[in-house]
Structures are given as C-alpha cells and as structure tokens.
Amino acid sequence: MLSQHSELKTGNNADADFIADHLLHRLYRLQQQHRHIPPQLMVEVAREFGLPVSQVVAVVNFYSFLYQQPVGRYHLLFSNCTSCGYQAGEVNLLALLCRQLNIASGQTRADGVVSVDETSCIGMCDHGPSMLVNGVPIVNLDEGRIKQLCNLIAAEQSLDDWPADWFRINNHIRKPDLLLNAPLECGDSLKKALAGDALLMLESIMQSGLRGRGGAGFATGKKWLFCREAESDTRYVVCNADEGEPGTFKDRVLLQCHADALFEGMTLCAYGIGAKKGFLYLRGEYRYLLGHLQAVLRRRYDSGLLGASILGQAGFSFDIEIVIGAGAYICGEESALIESLEGKPGIPRIRPPFPVTHGYLGRPTVVNNVETFIAATHIVQYGSAGFSAVGTEKSSGSKLLSVSGDCRTPGIYEYPYGVSIQQVLDDCGATQVQAVQIGGPAGSLLAKKDFNRQISFEDVSTGGSFLIFGENRDLLSINRNFARFFAHESCGFCTPCRVGTRLLENSIGKIADGRATWRDVDEIKQLSGFVRHYSHCGLGHTAANHILDSLRHFPGDIQNLLVQQAFTPAFDLDAALETARQMTQRDDADAHLE
Amino acid sequence: MTETTGTIFIDGKAVGFMQGQTIMDAALSAQVYIPHLCHYPGLTPSGNCRLCVVEADGRRAAACTTAAKAGQQISNNTAELNAARKVITQMLFVEGNHICPSCEKSGNCKLQAMGYHLGMLEEHYPQFNPRRVLDASHPDILLDRGRCILCGLCVRASHEVDKKNVFAIAGRGADAYLIVNTVSGKLGDSNLDVTDLAANICPVGAIMFKERGYVTPIGERIYDRQHISDVAMHEHVTEQKGDKKR
Ligand SMILES: Cc1cc2nc3c(=O)[nH]c(=O)nc-3n(C[C@H](O)[C@H](O)[C@H](O)COP(=O)(O)O)c2cc1C
Ligand code: SF4
Ligand code: SF4
C-alpha cells in the first residue's frame, strides 16, 4: 500500500510518542487509510471522541488536507506560492503536470491512481517549485522532474523508490548572527534558570526587550508575566509552528537545526509561568519533521530535561506534546490555533479575553513563535544585556529572514534588527529588483525608493518573509496570487473578510484580464478599506494591504491595463452563454455575441 | 430602575451600563439602536456579521462583543459607519441567493429590513450565485441554505436555549455552510421542533415552516409596519418554551 510507504517517508510509523491523542491526528490516519473520510467514519470518530457529529464534519470541511471525496493514491499538491509555486518563469509546471497525467487540477483521475491540486505555500521557497506528494515535500521541480515524476506514477512506483534527492531539504543558512552563531548546550539555560527564582528569569526576559517574532511583536517577558499572574491552577505553553505566511521558512529550519533550543525555551517558559503542559502546534506541511522532533523530545526526556522533576528539581514537571495541523493558514492566528488544538475548526476567538488569561481549555496560555522561544533560551543563557545591545532601540536582538524569489542565494539570513533592505538584497545577490514583499502577502510591498528602510518593529516589521521580485515580474499577477491566497484562507466567520476577499480576488482578476476601468480601481480601494477596518481578525485586517501598496507604488502597471471607458460589466457576456452553447451543441458564429 | 455602574456616551448621549454588559446591551437598554443581524439579546454574542461595528474611543469594535467601559466615547450613527454597514449588507445579499420578490420571508426578513434601514438601493457587487443544497427532509421545516447568511443564530439558539444542538456551521471561507448535526446530515432526522427557538430565530428565509404561506399578507408584515430599529428594542430570548418571538 502506498500509504504505508509514505508513512515510512514521514517517519510516521515510528512510535506515536509525544503525539497527542487528537481529533486531527485520528482524522489524518483515516485520510491516509481511505484517501478520504467517508460520512460513516465521521460518525464513528464522533462517537469515539464523544463529540457531536457536526463538529467532526465541520473539522473535515475546514482543513484543506482532509477530504470528503477520495483523492488519488498519489496525491499531488503543488504549492502556489510566488516563490515555491508552480509558475517557473514562463512555464506553468502545474499545467504541464496536469497535461502529462491527463487530469484537471482539483480532480482525482477516474482510475483513482492520481489526484492533483494546488495548495498554499508549503515553506520550501528556498528550493524552487515544490509540491507535497502524499504529504511529503519534493523540491527543486522543473520540467524534467515533472516528466520523470509522471513516469514514476504511470509505473506506480512506490515513493520509496523515487529519487532521494527530490526529498532532500537543505537548511540554506546563508548568514548566521546572534542566535544561529551561538552554541547552546542542551540544558544549560535551564540549569541557569533553575538555579534562580522564576521571577528573576522573567525579569531578565523583560529586560532583554525581546518581542514576539511571529508578527505582532508583543513583549515576550510581559506576556509570560501576565500569564503567570492570571488566576488559575493550570497554565499552558504553546509553540506556534504553523508558519503559514507565504515566503516564510525560517521556522522550518529552526525546527530542523535548533529543536533543542526551542524545547528548552518552552520549558523555561513553563518554569516562569508555572505550566505543566506544553504543545508544539506544527503545520501539516511540516509533518515530515515529526520523526526528528520526536527523537529530540525523547532525548530530552531521557536526559531529565522534560517530564517529572526536571533536572532533579522536585515539583517542576513539564511535558510537551506535538499537535499537527491539517492545512489552514488561519490556524497561525493564536486564538484560531487554540481552537484547532481543542479539535475544532480554526475560527479566531473574540479578543479580549486574550490567550494569556483565557487560552487552551479556557486556561491562561502563552503562545509564542518558534524563534521567540529560541531567543528566550539564548537570553537566559547569555544574559539580557548582550541581547538588548544588538538591534535598535525598540527592536532588540536579531531577526531571521526567509529570503526567496529573484536572487542568487535564497535561504536564511540572520541580521541584527535595523538592517536595511538594500543590505539584504546585496547579500543574497539580488540585482535589478523591482519590489520586495516583506512580511508575506499580509505585509508590505516596497519599491526601490524604500530599499533604504530598515527591518525593525519601528520601521518595516516582518514575521520573516522576504520575497524579492525582479524587474521582469508582472506585479499584478503577484497581487492576483495574494488575493487568491486570502480568499482561499479566509476562515469564513465574518462577512467583510469572507465576502470581501472573494470580491477583491474577482476585481483584481478583472484588471489582470484587461476588462477593468478606472471605476473598478476606485471600487477596489474602497472595498479594501472595508475589509481592513471591519473584519474580525488579523487576516481580514491585512488582506488588502498588497493591492493598496501596489496601487500606491506602481500605479502605472495597473493603469496600463485599464479599458478607457466608464464601465464594463463584471461578467463576460459571451462567456455567460457557454452553458447554453454546450446544451445546444452549437459553437457557430451566431452562437457568440461577437 | 436597574442600577448602573458606569456611563458610556453613544453619539454624545449618556448611557448607563451595568458591570459585564457589552456596548450593545447598554445601547439596547437605553433604546439606542445599533444595527445588527447576528445578535439576539439573550444568546451569546458572536460578532460575525460586523454590522454593529462602532468606534469606541477611536477604535473600531463590534458592539455586541465589546465590554462597555466607563467614560467610553462611542460613535455609532455616523455617515461613515452606516456606509460600511450598507456595504456589509450588500455583501450578504450578493453572497447568497436572495430572491426577495418570491420569498415567503419578505417583509419579515431582517436582511431586507436592514437594506431599507441603510438606504440600500442596489446590490452593487456581482452575484456569487452559490449552489447550496436545499433540505426539505423535515416534515414541517424547510432549510434553504441559499438564503442563509451564516449568522449562527439557529446554532446558538438550538445549543443554548433548546438544548438540542441541531445546527453547526462547517466549511471555510466562501464555502462555509450550515450543517445539521445528524448522522445523515438531514434535518428530517433531527429532533428540531416547530416551537424550538432555533426554528423561529432565522433572520432571513433560510429556515421556514412548510405549508404556512402568506398567512400575513405582504404589506402587513413585521417590517412593513415597523422599522427594524424599533422592532430590535423588543427582542429578547425568553427561556420558556412556546413563548418565542420571531
Ligand atoms: C492570520 C494570522 C496568521 C498568523 N500566523 C502565524 C504563524 O504562522 N506563526 C506565528 O508565530 N504567528 C502567527 N501569527 C501571529 C500569532 O497570532 C501570534 O501573535 C504569535 O504566535 C505570538 O507569538 P510571538 O509573540 O512569539 O510572535 C498569525 C496571526 C494572524 C492574524
Ligand atoms: S477576518 Fe477573515 S479569517 Fe478573520 S475571522 Fe473574519 S473571516 Fe475569519
Ligand atoms: S439558517 Fe438562518 S439563523 Fe441559521 S445561520 Fe443561516 S441565516 Fe442564521
């Protein structure tokens, strides 16, 4: 069975250690087994977990990697990111793949052997066009590999026999600094912290000026202190490894190379706030890292760095479990993540109350990014003074950037905060740059005149994504890509985002198709304002940034595509007649409008 | 009179509130209308429709989910906010299949009444024309998902008041849709009863009674006689069965 082979690749038939007994995991296994989750199994699972059937149905419907209709035995999900996606220069690799396999994207071939679809960025942006094959990433795809891959599928070759280098994922650490250079011995920071009072440790995190690396930039020490002070007998530590922002892959590399420092940071947090339980919420796209992460956890338990009486300190126990997502960008939003941890669709909660007081199961919970926990470990180990000496006034320390797109050496670049965009471009060998998108589709699009600006919370803030667009890139196609991303990833809870992101996608499509007028542009501007100001969560608040930035910095690109008339209808009249033509089996001139 | 613990100012008007009340609660008890569709006093607020977004101390916030705080300055009935509310209403119209002229709910429909309230004269955006499954399996109740605005009122009413948990919302983004919590997914297999709050609370024509057409003629229906801002002042969930307001 193919599913077993793919389980080998993902290390998933290793013991189920440190994997929570979780609805998403149960559904994932069923998906692997049956290639979809038929209704009667949803009913069974609901019974097993003591949940209403509707909750299981809602979960299956919400997450991209759970299906109600069978996918193929080879299930291919091509990334549609602007960096690791299928558009390789002029060549559309997805179209090529579909042609070769005789299949349409979004479908399962009638023989059940193969299915193809697109998926949001899979975090392989430093590896060129990439896809997930039965959940496992294969990278550096080009026309040759696509053809070869189709042959392997035609021969129904097991994934284990596919070329090993397709699966080889490099770390591409191009420029280490504060965090990546410093040696961190397992347990050293913990020993230091345990030697003193927990409050003392929190104090030093606060003094370091560390702010969250996941995007919002909340002061980490303060967050931990608030959580500690919240009324409760139970607290939780959650690491946000959902890394869904297109163009970001630094957490992938950190999980691969610095998992110990991450788990140590979570343990420090547990010590600081008084938590006994922690979760690593790993995006489904990174499931291939599971075996590695489990091995690190096993080692830490064996060395007394996790479990009961950590480092011999009676009364300090802490356990970490891994929960793996199933394809939903919104689950990176901390309250949606918590909902997902609780086995529900990832719908962002009403905030306040914030997770620090009402988080997982309603208990005080710290949610931090992977990089934030690792920085905390560093601070406890090397002191807060050294950390705050690096960076700028309001942005202490360093930032890992995931650099990709049109440059010579994509990969991980770590800089002290305050580095200029131009510096990064120079270091990664990016010349003839038209624009950079910093912070992913939700961040800011910057033109040349802004390349002297700095990466910092005071100036250009980013969770880590640094996408470079060369001079010959069509920016509007980038906008179109981003607009689709948001429409696809909107959770659907609130009206302005659920409907507005779809309307924006259509309007941008209209421009790109050369059917829009200046009036459509005005409409986009207004609509963008409504989506931004009236949505419920950060996804909606930022979903229109990219198009507003484009209109501001590159108005000419869009104007050139506009039709010089006052109004054109949103729909193509002639195309609307297509169904009628098919029904009457006509395609002659009279069956068309023009 | 109820005792107040503080005062907020809605468009300059002083409004008292009690500890734990939201801006919406306070406004309604002071007979101040803040437009809303997904909120129904007595049920847990959700904040999904976004019509009740106001400016509280300069920041936009949903009135139904934001706690009132002493001294808060709130803008509600402003041209800017009402313009946004109109857009949100238009979004709800184009997202579903709202067949007002032939809809039995016409005149009793809050979405329609909201359109009138906000001076909405056109749908403005292109129609989505979604294909959503209609469920006619229940002997007395029809579920037409095409007219559902995903407000979640039936979900909450069933869960919190009827204690039945008949409905849920599934799917993501524009594919979100109402589901029925039965093994078959059919309404006919649920224990939904015509007297349940969940069967009566739908603001639009998505949950309707069968074989009960046009008992009240068009022209004499709720919103034909009263403005939505007045009707909203008298809405509250009563816990007793059989005494449920539309
Ligand atoms: C739509 C959306 C997606 C997000 N995705 C992520 C993510 O993938 N990883 C992350 O660390 N934070 C993400 N965040 C930010 C989290 O909500 C939260 O602020 C963060 O995990 C807190 O950790 P930090 O303080 O260490 O940054 C996202 C926020 C939003 C609104
Ligand atoms: S803004 Fe978008 S993602 Fe956030 S709650 Fe609303 S619909 Fe969901
Ligand atoms: S059926 Fe009616 S009450 Fe239920 S979610 Fe849809 S619109 Fe709201």
Q: Whose CA is nearest to atom 4 of ligand 2?
A: A537
Q: Are the Cβ atoms of B168 and A55 closer than 8 angstroms?
A: yes
CB A212 less than 6 A from any atom of ligand 1: yes
Give the domain ranges of chain A: 74-170, 174-388, 398-473, 479-594
Chain A residues lying within 8 Å of B173, measured CB to CB = 487-492, 498, 501-502
> What confidence score (pLDDT) does residue A1 get?
30
pLDDT (tens, 9 = 90+) of chain A, 594 residues, equals 333 333 333 434 445 689 889 999 999 999 999 999 999 999 999 999 999 999 999 999 999 999 999 999 999 999 999 999 999 888 999 999 999 999 999 999 999 999 999 999 999 999 999 999 999 999 999 999 999 999 999 999 999 999 999 999 999 999 999 999 998 889 999 999 999 999 999 999 999 999 999 988 999 999 999 999 999 999 999 999 999 999 999 999 999 999 999 999 999 999 999 999 999 999 999 999 999 999 999 999 999 999 999 999 999 999 999 999 999 999 999 999 999 999 999 999 999 999 999 999 999 999 999 999 999 999 999 999 999 999 999 999 999 999 999 999 999 999 999 999 999 999 999 999 999 999 999 999 999 999 999 999 999 999 999 999 999 999 999 999 999 999 999 999 999 999 999 999 999 999 999 999 999 999 999 999 999 999 999 999 999 999 999 999 999 888 888 988 777 777 778 888 888 898 899 888 888 886
CB contact under 8 A, B172 and A496: no
User: Cβ separation of A57 and B172 shorter than 8 Å?
Assistant: no
CATH class label, B83-226: alpha beta
Domain with CATH 3.30.70.20 in chain B: 83-226
Q: Which of B48, B53, B172 shows the shortest C-beta gap to A62?
A: B172
Quick one: which atom of ligand 3 is closest to the CA of B149?
7
Ligand 3 pocket mutation pick from B89, B156, B178 by most atoms within 8 angstroms of CB: B178
**A398-473 topology per CATH:** Ubiquitin-like (UB roll) (3.10.20)
For ligand 1, atom 31, the nearest C-alpha belongs to: A538
In chain A, residues with a C-beta closer than 8 Å to the C-beta of B179 are 54, 57-58, 61
Instruction: Looking at the CA of residue A335, tell me the nearest atom of ligand 1.
Output: 17
pLDDT band at residue B238 under the 50/70/90 scheme: confident
> How many Å apart are CA B68 and CA A459, to the nearest integer?
34
Residue B53 bridge partners (DSSP): B62
Residue B240 clears pLDDT 70, i.e. is over it: no
Please indicate whether, in this complex, the C-beta atoms of B165 and A570 are within 8 angstroms of each other. Answer: no
Residue B203 alpha carbon to ligand 3 centre in Å? 7
- Indicate the CATH number for domain B6-81: 3.10.20.740
DSSP chain B: -PPPSEEEEETTEEEEE-TT-BHHHHHHHTT-----SS--TTSPP---S-TTEEEETTEEEETTTSB--TT-EEE-S-HHHHHHHHHHHHHHHHHTT--GGG-TTTTT-HHHHHHHHTT--S--SPP------EE--SSSEEEEGGG-----HHHHIIIIISS---EEEESSGGG-EEEE-SSS--GGGS---TTSHHHH--SSTTEEETT-TTSSPTTSSHHHHS-HHHHGGG----SSTT----
Annotate A465-481 with b (16+ C-beta within 10 A) or e (fewer).
bbbbbeeebebbebbbb
Is 1.10.150.120 the CATH classification of the domain at A74-170? Answer: no
Is the Cβ atom of B206 under 6 angstroms away from ligand 3?
A: yes
Q: Which residues of A touch B91 (CB under 8 A)?
A: 495-496, 499-500, 503
Residues facing residue B93 across a β-bridge: none
Verify whether ligand 3 is closer than 6 Å to residue B141 (CB atom): no
Domain with CATH 3.10.20.740 in chain B: 6-81
Residue whose C-alpha is closest to residue A476's, from A532, A410, A560, A405: A560
CA A459 to chain centroid, in Å, comes to 23
Inspect the interface and report whether the beta carbons of A494 and B167 lie closer than 8 Å: no
Token pair for A181 = 């250079």
B185/A496 Cβ within 8 A: no
Question: A119 CA distance to ligand 1 centroid (A)?
Answer: 20
Pocket of ligand 2 (CB under 6 A): A 330, 348, 490-494, 497-498, 535-537, 539-540
Nearest by CB to A62, from B65, B171, B174: name it.
Answer: B171
How many cross-chain Cβ pairs, A to B, lie less than 8 Å apart?
118
**CATH match for A174-388 among 3.40.390.10, 3.40.50.11540, 1.10.3720.10, 3.40.440.10:** 3.40.50.11540
The Å distance, Cα A250 to ligand 1 centre, comes to 14
Contact A119, A132 (CB under 8 A): yes
Alpha-carbon distance A558 to A551, whole Å?
7
Integer angstrom CA distances of residue A531 from A387, A463, A487:
38, 22, 12
All residues of chain B having their beta carbon less than 8 Å from the beta carbon of residue A68 are: none
| A216 close to ligand 1 (CB < 6 Angstrom) | yes
Q: Which residues of A touch B125 (CB under 8 A)?
A: 499, 503
**Topology (CATH level 3) of domain A479-594:** de novo design (two linked rop proteins) (1.20.1440)
